[in-house]
Structure 1
Amino acid sequence: MPALEILKTVYGYDAFRGPQADIVAHVIAGNNAFVLMPTGGGKSLCYQIPAMVRPGMGLVVSPLLALMADQVAALRQAGVRAAALNSDLPGDERRALWRAIHGGDLDLLYVAPETLLRPGVLEQLDGVRLSLIAIDEAHCLSQWGHDFRPSYRQLDALAERFAGTPRMALTATADEPTRQEILSHLDIDEADAFIAGFDRPNIRYAIEEKDNPRAQLKDFLKRHEGESGIVYCLSKRKTEETAAWLQGLGYDALAYHAGMDKAAREANQARFQRGEAVVMVATIAFGMGIDKPDVRFVAHLDLPGSIEAYYQETGRAGRDGLPSDTLMLYGSEDVALRSRFIEESDAPEQRKRMERQKLDALLGLAETADCRRRVLLSYFGDHAGPCGNCDTCAEPPKLFDGGIAAQKALSCIYRTGERFGQAYVVDVLLGVENERIAQFGHDRISTFGIGREHDNRTWRAILRQLITLRLVEVDLAGHGGLSIAPAGRDFLRDKPALMLRVPPPPRARRGKVARGAAQAAVGEADQDLFQALRQKRTEIARLQNVPPYVIFHDRTLVELAAARPSSRAAMAEVSGVGDAKLDRYGPAFLAVIAEHA
């Protein structure tokens, strides 16, 4: 069956997007391929369709059991013969699966790298005709990446063992060094690389200084009532405390971190996957490969580890292409803590140096007065003009000549002995008269009260930027005392120009709650029908014990509500409605539409 026919009859789409058609044709012809495509850009079609066109079974290496289970469920709904091989399978099911594999009864087999590399598994696959080998989340292969998995490094053996089988490496997150490492290890030529770019125009990026993090998060979540999203925290304790706090506010919030019981973690992940208004509060242990298309927001309550991590974690929002929102909060403590993680690690100096560079790049994104998207994309070698869909485009930050302010701050840190924290230094700069300052005699030093031209909030922002610029260091091992970094001493000596950001005024809390992204895409006259279609989808999903989006994506329901098809033929024209789903669900959804005629 030709690729375009499969695209329509199985997936319900009339045309390929972007470079999909070229990639599919390239692999069907028997060539290897490296595919870098943004999350939600349709990477999975690039290997699923060639696997169905070419003779044999497609072997897909995927990092997570939950991700494999979701993809297999979605493929089976569409009428594709797919299965997952994993260590949790009972003996009878495992034997039946191997019979299906050897009998040629599968189009696609998903397997984790650890399972694939176990003794005996590769040997059993030696006699199976493979249409292709696809390695998903291929950035896990890079030792410099943020998601390095040692088992991925051993996958280079597949190139020799299955020399005549096309190999594909797919990822949404890989800078130039990571891309070269993947190509080298998997023996894929540069000419076989397809770079589709990194831009996710439907995602709005916003980054704010920590002011009152819970109030900032509460304000952010008001815009997403009734929608699913992820809130990332750095520690297990903060994850649990934040989830409990959100539950107290009435949110269906769950916690997820590596310290939880495995069964509890899996139960929470299943609830998130199957729910339509669940907030997952998690550490970075959660999320890689999450195939839930209707995640409408991602918030970071702490600074991520790198731009790659930030890009991948925010990329879990809006996989269906509908508008989605992100928010990252950070402060000087985050900068100091991330620096401490790097310096106290057992990594070799080369690795530490690269981690420092990655942190500096992330801080540059946080402090930029330029378009966030432009800075983010330029990090990956991609380019774009001002996007109009980030906070700095919507409200361009003001800059001021901060040279004198920086000199005052550094002098005050020096005069107070380089051992006091941010709040104390700001009080001295402002000339605050209190018992503690008098006790140390700092009301009599030359820097007492020399900073009254700025308020407390502005001085905090200045100090945070000086920490970000590595002019000031924070002693986290002690009590957060500030000291002058070597670069800060150079600054005091050379006095170069320094432009700093003016902190934005505190945001007024929004009283009005905005409609969700999917609802906003539906016209006023179609709102009732859209909600009825969602309810029908939920009913069917619960009966089958699958996530609702496996039945139909929100985008498909939006189109159904707008088009109001009255026949099977008309419903087949709606994007995302393939033949198998039309047979299985067409009558039920057409009946709902008829009721709202």
Structure 2
Amino acid sequence: MEINKSLFDNLQNFFGFDNFKGDQEAIITSILQKKDTFVIMPTGGGKSICYQLPALMSDGTAIVISPLIALMKNQVDQLRAFGGTDSIAHFLNSSLNKSEITKVKEDVTSGATKLLYVAPESLTKTENIDFLRGISISFVAVDEAHCISEWGHDFRPEYRKIRQVIDNIGDNIPIIALTATATPKVQQDIQKNLQMSNASLFKSSFNRPNLFYEVRAKRDVIKEIVRYAKMNSGKSGIVYCLSRKKVEEVAEALKLNGIKALPYHAGLDPKTRAETQDNFLMEDVDVIVATIAFGMGIDKPDVRYVIHHDIPKSMEGYYQETGRSGRDGGEGICVAFYSQKDIDKLTKFMKDKPVSEREIGTQILKEVIDYAESSVCRRKQILHYFGENFNEAGCNNMCDNCRHPKKYFDAEAPLLRALTLIRDFGEKFDDQYIINFMLGVDNAQISSYEHDKLPLFGSGKEEGEILWKSLMRQAVLNNFVLKDIDNYGLLKLTKSGKAFIENPYSVKFILNYLMETAEDEVEESQHQAGALDTVLLQMLKDLRKKIAKQKNLPPFVIFQDPSLDEMCTHYPVSLDELKQIQGVGSGKAMKFGPPFIEMIKKYVDENDIDRPVDLVIKSAANKSALKVSIIQNIDRQIALEDIASAKGISYDEILKELETIVNSGTKLNLNYYIDEIIEEDRQDEVFDYFRGSEVDSIDTALAELGDDDYTREEVQLMRIKFLSELGN
């Protein structure tokens, strides 16, 4: 009773809270009683108080092992603010100089420091072990304990040495291990490695009811992210990307569009990273774009959305990263973009790794693919991954799959076939093998077992791949089958699975996954793209004709038809917006744009048109390295064949690039090349033809000029010269 009263007093006095959340009180009591304690608590559940409060109440200094320098700084700052003195908490890591390290050690030795945060790399240094031997230690907290396990999403070899170091420092030091994400497999690894199999285990539910989960097919992804950020202007968000290059690109696109955004990755110097973090915490910046590889140790309660530009490498990583949103219990939207290309890239990364690491990585990645492509309740899948059964009714439509009605199929007969097959094959194969067998895929593995000779081989062709993939996933999710992650993901029948074979019953599964959705969306977007504003289109064509007459130019020199079509779906009302229209570069926008902008603006106002948000999305100057290089080589008067050869592209491809460049408004002087291959009078003839033509088609030009007299290449080159000289 005495501990409890003192606990509540300290919670109130130090942190200003009246009550504990969830298991916090029981966890803290366990530590104060010097028991080994293992805490699995999702992000936002209040993990840090579980070791901070007992550290403040115990004699001696608590050692907190954490892999994130950023998080250490964050927590030390908070503790100093609560405690009113700088010496109450310190960190010891590679960011400190000699005099700072001396100050830390003095405060710890004097007994003024209640919490000392140490990076695992610093912990193993001989001088630090010697120092820690000489002080009174209340307990050791191992934060982010999943880093111990190769099956965790953020494996750190240094974490494997922690137990050994603790034994070196002293005898019977209590340990509290904490993680915000641990599958049953990772949980076993942590307990085994830290030799705490008898620890008191506290495992909270991983359900975060306020988070909305959504997976989208990946198309125009930067545009989608910018659009989302603009629609949620002023809200805090994090965008995760796989590469530093992509981080910089996305951050630049957001800034171009008036969103306060900054990049954050391991390639930036520590000072810049610290400033970026502070800017985000102080709300001088709304959006941080970060690499998934670089953990952001930011405890910001009001992050309103987390977007994954690339699908994460593991479900734990995904859970951890999405968990940064809505920590205050408010809105938290989690959107992940998914494409097969991303998966291929991640698989490629694993090719050079040692065999055991590659096999583990493949299994972990497969879980992510299953999650992304599935149409089952996202929350149910996430919780199942962490060993928690969940009824999807409790999702309350807080994921895309629950919110949108799905197609169901009668799974009784195909499930019976699949389960019987798993049993008859001796539970020695994974789900992909069963799917391939059902579809009749004739591969080396199947023929090596001579399973292609069995009567059931290929018997599921009619149902199709989508049904079998859906079925195998949901057989695992609904506990008919267990996936042996330790053992290449081989499928084992559960009690329910065996009972179903003996006594089948009606069961409905969801059909459909992201690949099918992606096709639907493409059709839908094509359908939408076809819905041009035909009234405005005619007005713009009349305006183009009028300007063409005034300037004595063919209409297509002003703007080509695809550009006008796009203006009629996006309604650009400023020069900046007009530059984003396909085929309109800076030059053309300045030269011909103002009257078009004026007409569109007036039309939008008069007809009260609600413009789509994405049209105002600016992209960085769309001059790829290839285009810039071509322009520079033409300035140096290098033959087109030589440029193509140096760039590893064909002659046809270089002509296409040149057309794109001049269509967007850049002037090119190709006379040095054209004069060599086409006589002057023939040039004049083609030039005069285009000047009087209503259309810019090469086929029409060849028919008019005579394809015996001119080659397609000559007409194409002359059209490029014509558009460059008259239109730009």
Matched with 1:72 is: 76
> Which residues of 2 match residues 69-468 of structure 1 at below 5 A?
69-79=73-83, 81-161=88-168, 162-275=170-283, 277-342=285-350, 344-348=351-355, 350-386=356-392, 387-388=395-396, 389-398=398-407
SS in 2 for 1:205: strand
8 Å CA contact 2:210–2:331 kept in 1: the answer is yes
Task: Sort the Cα spacing of 1:322 and 1:485 in 2 relative to 1 into closer, same or farther, 3 A.
Answer: farther
Superposed CA offset, 1:152-197 (max 9, x none): 1110124423322211110011111211111111111244221113
Q: TM-score, normalised by structure 2?
A: 0.56
Distance 1:358 1:469 in 2: 19
Matched with 1:585 is: none
> Which residues of 2 match residues 9-88 of structure 1 at below 5 A?
9-79=13-83, 81-88=88-95
SS in 2 for 1:369: coil
> What is the one-letter code of the residue matched to 1:69?
K
8 Å CA contact 2:226–2:253 kept in 1: the answer is no
Gaps of 5+ in 2: 411-430, 468-510, 529-569, 571-609, 614-728
Distance 2:349 2:305 in 1: 28
> What is the one-letter code of the residue matched to 1:390?
C
> Which residues of 2 match residues 500-511 of structure 1 at below 5 A?
500-501=511-512, 502-503=516-517, 505=521, 506=524
Q: Which has the higher contact order (CA 8 A, sep 6+)?
A: 1
How many Å apart are 1:50 and its aligned residue? Answer: 1.1
Task: Sort the Cα spacing of 1:492 and 1:189 in 2 relative to 1 into closer, same or farther, 3 A.
Answer: closer
8 Å CA contact 1:31–1:166 kept in 2: the answer is yes
> What is the one-letter code of the residue matched to 1:101?
V
Distance 1:132 1:188 in 2: 14
Superposed CA offset, 1:283-306 (max 9, x none): 123334332222221101111111
SS in 2 for 1:258: coil
8 Å CA contact 1:229–1:298 kept in 2: the answer is yes
Superposed CA offset, 1:489-514 (max 9, x none): 9799333434252525458999899x
Q: Which has the higher helix share?
A: 2
Q: TM-score, normalised by structure 1?
A: 0.68
Distance 1:33 1:345 in 2: 38
8 Å CA contact 2:41–2:179 kept in 1: the answer is yes
How many Å apart are 1:100 and its aligned residue? Answer: 1.2
How many Å apart are 1:26 and its aligned residue? Answer: 0.8
Superposed CA offset, 1:204-239 (max 9, x none): 111111133133323432442112211111222222
Task: Sort the Cα spacing of 1:212 and 1:183 in 2 relative to 1 into closer, same or farther, 3 A.
Answer: same
Q: Compare 276-285 and 484-493 and name the one that shifted more.
A: 484-493
State the structure with more CA Rg: 2
* Runs of 4+ displaced beyond 6 Å: 466-471, 483-492, 507-513
Distance 1:182 1:328 in 2: 29
Gaps of 5+ in 1: 402-465, 472-482, 514-597
Q: Compare 21-30 and 185-194 and name the one that shifted more.
A: 185-194
How many Å apart are 1:84 and its aligned residue? Answer: 1.4
8 Å CA contact 2:376–2:401 kept in 1: the answer is yes
8 Å CA contact 1:227–1:276 kept in 2: the answer is no
Matched with 2:458 is: 493
Q: Compare 1-10 and 373-382 and name the one that shifted more.
A: 1-10
Superposed CA offset, 1:261-317 (max 9, x none): 444344333323332542111212333433222222110111111111111111121
Distance 2:384 2:195 in 1: 27
Distance 2:10 2:27 in 1: 15
8 Å CA contact 1:176–1:380 kept in 2: the answer is yes
Distance 2:331 2:444 in 1: 44
Task: Sort the Cα spacing of 1:397 and 1:337 in 2 relative to 1 into closer, same or farther, 3 A.
Answer: farther
Distance 2:160 2:272 in 1: 30
Percentage of pairs with the same residue: 39
Distance 1:512 1:6 in 2: 54
SS in 2 for 1:120: helix
Distance 2:402 2:391 in 1: 11
> What is the one-letter code of the residue matched to 2:24?
Q
Superposed CA offset, 1:312-344 (max 9, x none): 1111212222221110011121222222223x1
SS in 1 for 2:263: strand
Matched with 1:478 is: none
Distance 2:444 2:186 in 1: 32
> What is the one-letter code of the residue matched to 1:88?
S
> What is the one-letter code of the residue matched to 1:352?
R
How many Å apart are 1:358 and its aligned residue? Answer: 1.7
> What is the one-letter code of the residue matched to 1:46?
C
Q: Compare 181-190 and 279-288 and name the one that shifted more.
A: 279-288
> What is the one-letter code of the residue matched to 1:154?
K
Count residues with an aligned counterpart: 438
Matched with 2:672 is: none
Distance 2:145 2:161 in 1: 12
Task: Sort the Cα spacing of 1:511 and 1:486 in 2 relative to 1 into closer, same or farther, 3 A.
Answer: farther
8 Å CA contact 1:369–1:396 kept in 2: the answer is no
Distance 2:267 2:166 in 1: 37
Q: Compare 232-241 and 258-267 and name the one that shifted more.
A: 258-267
SS in 1 for 2:35: coil
Distance 2:460 2:13 in 1: 67
SS in 2 for 1:493: coil
8 Å CA contact 1:58–1:132 kept in 2: the answer is yes
> What is the one-letter code of the residue matched to 1:13?
F
Superposed CA offset, 1:400-451 (max 9, x none): 89xxxxxxxxxxxxxxxxxxxxxxxxxxxxxxxxxxxxxxxxxxxxxxxxxx
Distance 1:222 1:239 in 2: 18
Task: Sort the Cα spacing of 1:142 and 1:332 in 2 relative to 1 into closer, same or farther, 3 A.
Answer: same
> What is the one-letter code of the residue matched to 1:25?
T
Superposed CA offset, 1:75-95 (max 9, x none): 111116212122333333322
> What is the one-letter code of the residue matched to 1:71?
Q
